[in-house]
Structure formats: structure tokens, C-alpha cells
Structure 1
Amino acid sequence: MGFFTGFCSGFALTSSVLYLAVQAHRSNRLEQRQTIREQTRALNWVAESTGAYDRRLLPREDLLLMEQKATPPEPTLQDHLKHRWNQEVEGLARKAHESRWEDARHTAAKGWNSVVRFVKWE
């Protein structure tokens, strides 16, 4: 591989990795911005004096936003996979917590003894 080919391939690899890192950072920042705006809007809605005692006095757009937020969003595939992963980790943690080393040692000793018996007979 020549100098020019190596230089171009190195530049392409470096710029691709840099581009992907910047895009991932940008998407995270946009998601954070959206959640912060939603939280700010919710806090302002709770703190504003209009309709503090009677929500019927609120502007119609605030009532529509309140009704939209009342319905829970549908779970996505990512949420489902996270839930499955958490169940697996929880089961493994519970199994590790409930297992006893004496039982593992006893099982390993029984397995070793059966292997030794099998080898001696043959």
C-alpha cells in the first residue's frame, strides 16, 4: 500500500469516526433539549397562577396539552428490549445471591469423582 492510499484510507476512517461521534452527541443533545423543554413547560404550568384553583379557566391549548400528556405513550421496541434485559440481569443477580458456595463445591466434587470413575474403568 502506497503512501497516498494509506493516507486517504486513514483520513476516511478518522473522519467517519469523528462524524459518527458528532452525530451521536448531537442527537443526545437534541433529546436532552426536548426533555428539558417539556419539564420546564410542566413546571411553569404547575406554578402559574391562572387556573390554580379551577383548571377550567386555563387557556384551551393548555387543556389540550394536559389531555395529550394524560395518555401514556406506546412502548417501543427499545423499551421492550430494555425490560427484557433488566429481567435477565435481575434473574442472574437473584440466582447469584441465592446460590451457596458449598453447593457448588459439592456439585463440582461429585462431577470430578464421576469423571475419575469413568476414566479408571476404561
Structure 2
Amino acid sequence: MGFTTGLLGGFTLTTTLIYTSLLIHNRNRLRQATLLRQQHLLLNNVVEPQPLLPPPTTREVRDAGLWARSKDRWNMELEANVKKVQAVDWEGAVGRVEEGASQLWQRAFKGGREGAERAAGREG
């Protein structure tokens, strides 16, 4: 191992150890501070209990902006469309579509048959 490699390796190792030890120390101190705060609150609540919170007040609705009104209108329209789709009698709708397609098919071939008969009658 050369001088430069040894120097850089030692620097890297030392820096990593210092960083790791400082990180662990910092996290331990934060954990201890959190535990001390919890214990302080518990002990103070035994001696002087915190007053009960007031009942929740009614929610005030402020004038919504353009964006909120647009979203509300979109949601109402979407909800109405979903209700319309849910209220459709799908079996009846499929039956009506099949009946219409059948009538269209019959008219197309009936007209074709009549035209073929007329054409055959003129030739014959």
C-alpha cells in the first residue's frame, strides 16, 4: 500500500468512525429528550391535571375559491352521471338494441330481395 492510498484509507476510516459516533450520540440525545419531556408531562399531570378540552365547535365554511367550487361542481356532476348509469335497465337496453339491429337487417335484405326480384322480372 502506497503513501497516498494509506493516507486516504486512514482519513476515510477516521471520518466514518467520527460521523457514525456523532450520529449515534445525536440520536441518543434526541431520544433522551423525548423521554424526559414525556416524563415531565406525566408528572405534571399527576400534580396539576390538564383542563378538559372544550367541546368541538361547529365547523365554519368559508367562501370557497374558484378551484374548490370547480371541484365540487365536477364531483356533483360525476355523482349524478354514476347514479344515471346505475339506474339503467341494461337487459332492456340490450333487448332494444338487438331489436333495432334486427329490424335494420331485415329492411336491408328485404329491399335487396325486392330489387333482385324486380331486376329478374325485367330481364325475364
- Answer whether TM exceeds 0.5 for this pair: no
Q: Which is higher, the Rg of structure 1 or of structure 2?
A: 2
User: Normalized against structure 2, the TM-score is what?
Assistant: 0.40
User: Normalized against structure 1, the TM-score is what?
Assistant: 0.41
